[in-house]
């Protein structure tokens, strides 16, 4: 009788375990279907600084819009700037406008309201748009490095190699790839079941903070996220690195110091932008999740979502003689009129 009783007990325990698992899954699915919004917890621990942060971020966003719109407008109305280099700079400004506008308005609203919520659909859309333009900027910076390589290493063939058709094709390809990879990232994050409380430890819907709300182990999904990020960064940084190796070797062979100075000056702005942008992305998306820290990642996120889009127009205008000359001509025309 003992073996029979033991077997019956074991069977009952197994059935009870299965029932518990089914019940837990049912509860998770029920919670998932009732999920309508997330809470953004990015700056809730800085309650006394909410007004100050609002003023700072509003100023940054206004400067970002003014700077990037000015760059696009100057390039558009100045025939002298209708070259491949400024075509790509114009696209960089458009990207900075788009992905900073995806984050900043909602952040500003949440800083002045008691409720820091964002709808489920709004979170999906915000993450998708932001990741799309972040990836697009990675590839665009690599394309801009290749453009400088052709201009310095093959100046006689520059306008032939980098003709309008090639420029539009490169931009179309990088936007298409960015849309596809962003869709993969977004599906990877939002195809999981989330458990409450639905509080995102960031001031916007970012990949890792949202993924950490999952009810299950996210190691595989984090691995996919890191793998795609590493591939994108490797391709982009390799393109930049190889281009600059050839550029520097060509510049060093220039005999006149004035010629070397001019060649270096055309690359300096791009190099500063590359260093700032890739450095922050590597810190957040390539390091293992065990290094994830709210305070550190929040500061770095502010840099590449708000500071870099604001700084880029300054880098390309203050260090660029063509842009400064174009601005002077526009100002003279306004004064004369």
Same domain flag for 120 and 196:
yes
Same domain flag for 28 and 55:
no
Same domain flag for 3 and 60:
no
Same domain flag for 130 and 26:
no
Same domain flag for 11 and 44:
no
Same domain flag for 197 and 314:
yes
Segments in the chain below pLDDT 70: 1-35, 114, 285-296, 318-319, 337
pLDDT of residue 42: 79
Task: Say how many domains are in the chain.
Answer: 2
Same domain flag for 27 and 40:
no
Angle, vertex CA 147, rays to CA 145 and CA 153, nearest 5 = 95
Rounded Cα distance, 239 and 233, in Å? 10
pLDDT of residue 1: 45
Query: The domain containing residue 5 runs over which residues?
Result: 1-33
Same domain flag for 104 and 244:
yes
Same domain flag for 4 and 78:
no
pLDDT of residue 286: 64
Same domain flag for 49 and 96:
yes
Same domain flag for 203 and 184:
yes
pLDDT of residue 267: 80
* Contact between 325 and 279 (Cβ < 8 Å): no
């Amino acid at each position: 009788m003992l073996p029979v009783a033991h077997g019956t007990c074991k069977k009952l325990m197994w059935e009870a375990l299965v029932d518990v698992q089914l019940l837990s899954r049912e509860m998770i699915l029920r919670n998932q279907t009732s999920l309508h919004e997330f809470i953004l917890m990015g700056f809730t621990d800085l309650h006394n600084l909410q007004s100050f942060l609002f003023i700072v971020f509003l100023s940054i966003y206004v400067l970002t819009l003014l700077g990037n719109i000015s760059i696009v407008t100057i390039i558009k109305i100045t025939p002298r700037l209708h070259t491949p280099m400024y075509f790509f700079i114009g696209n960089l400004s458009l990207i900075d406008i788009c992905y900073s506008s995806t984050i900043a308005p909602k952040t500003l609203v949440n800083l002045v309201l008691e409720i820091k919520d964002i709808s489920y659909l709004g979170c999906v859309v915000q993450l998708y748009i932001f990741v799309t333009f972040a990836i697009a900027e990675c590839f665009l910076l690599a394309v801009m490095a290749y453009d400088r390589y052709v201009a310095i290493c093959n100046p006689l063939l520059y306008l032939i190699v980098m003709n309008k058709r090639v420029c539009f094709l490169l931009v179309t390809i990088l936007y298409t790839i960015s849309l596809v990879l962003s869709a993969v990232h977004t599906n990877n994050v939002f195809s999981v079941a989330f458990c409450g409380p639905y509080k995102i430890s960031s001031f916007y819907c970012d990949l890792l903070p949202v993924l950490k709300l999952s009810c299950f182990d996210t190691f595989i999904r984090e691995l996919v996220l890191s793998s795609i990020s590493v591939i994108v960064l490797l391709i982009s940084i390799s393109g930049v690195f190889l281009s600059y190796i050839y550029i520097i070797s060509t510049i060093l062979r220039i005999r006149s110091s004035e010629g070397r100075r001019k060649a270096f000056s055309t690359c300096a702005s791009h190099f500063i932008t590359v260093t700032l942008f890739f450095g922050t992305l590597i810190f957040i998306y390539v390091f293992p999740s065990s290094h994830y820290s709210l305070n550190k990642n929040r500061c770095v996120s502010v840099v590449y979502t708000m500071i870099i889009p604001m700084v880029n127009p300054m880098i390309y205008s203050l260090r660029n003689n063509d842009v400064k000359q174009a601005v002077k001509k526009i100002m003279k025309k306004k004064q004369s009129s």
